Homo-oligomer: A and B are copies of this chain.
Amino acid sequence: MKNKGVLLVVSGPSGVGKGTVCQQLLKAHPEVFFSVSATTRKMREIDQEGVTYYFKTKEEFEQMVADDALLEWATFCDNSYGTPKAPVLERLNEGTSVLLEIDVQGALQVKKNYPDAVLVFILPPSLSTLEERLRNRGTETEETIQVRMKQYRREFEQATAYQYLVINDDLSKAVCDLEAVLRAEQMRTERCQQIIEEVFE
């Protein structure tokens, strides 16, 4: 029997830098498998099948839902997005840890379908920092900023359902924090069946 991999699920409001934190983690830990989502949205020029997304027709996606082949899924603006279950579970059973970067609703679905998942919420140092970053982009109207801030507050309230909170004040510190969560979770007794057997060998 092998040690189980850790299913690390990372969420956080847009603008918090969670994408960068995840990329840095993967760079430092190439042994971690990054789960690629399936989507019904149209392929864009920058997209690569199996890299940015797995592109599916609406019918294919509906079939995946019907087959219970997704760990979580949701529809935004008429496009559906989801996490294919089989590749994730295969990796975990092989002892490989898996990283998912998904939204709060998706993360809570994953936790429900796979209770062993480890949920990490990336926070900004403060809500006002986030507002400032958003304003500094200069691409959003005041109204959009206010709508976003309301949405963030709602998301933060759900962050208390997550097991870990990481503050992205300093990027390298946040990456180390996420690494510590991954490393610690790999040492959880319930995942260490192989270690226990080897010691008793």
Chain A positions within 8 Å of B, measured between CB atoms, are 121, 123-128, 153, 156, 159-160, 162-167, 176-177, 179-181, 183-185, 187-189, 192, 195-196, 198-201
B165 touches A196 (CB 8 A): yes
Q: Give chain B residues whose Cβ lies under 8 Å from the Cβ of A192.
A: 165
Would you list 8 pairs from A and B whose C-beta atoms are within 8 A, ordered by A residue? A123-B199, A124-B199, A126-B198, A126-B199, A128-B201, A164-B188, A165-B195, A177-B187
Q: Give chain B residues whose Cβ lies under 8 Å from the Cβ of A121.
A: 189
A183 touches B189 (CB 8 A): no
Given A123-B199, A156-B199, A195-B165, is A181 in contact with B187 using a C-beta cutoff of 8 Å? Answer: yes
Q: Give chain B residues whose Cβ lies under 8 Å from the Cβ of A196.
A: 156, 159-160, 165
Alpha-carbon distance A145/B162, docked complex (angstroms): 47
**Which residue of the partner chain B has the closest CB to A183?**
B180
Q: Give chain B residues whose Cβ lies under 8 Å from the Cβ of A167.
A: 195
Min CB gap A123→B, angstroms = 5
Q: Give chain B residues whose Cβ lies under 8 Å from the Cβ of A188.
A: 163-164
Min CB gap A185→B, angstroms = 7
Q: Give chain B residues whose Cβ lies under 8 Å from the Cβ of A183.
A: 176-177, 180, 184
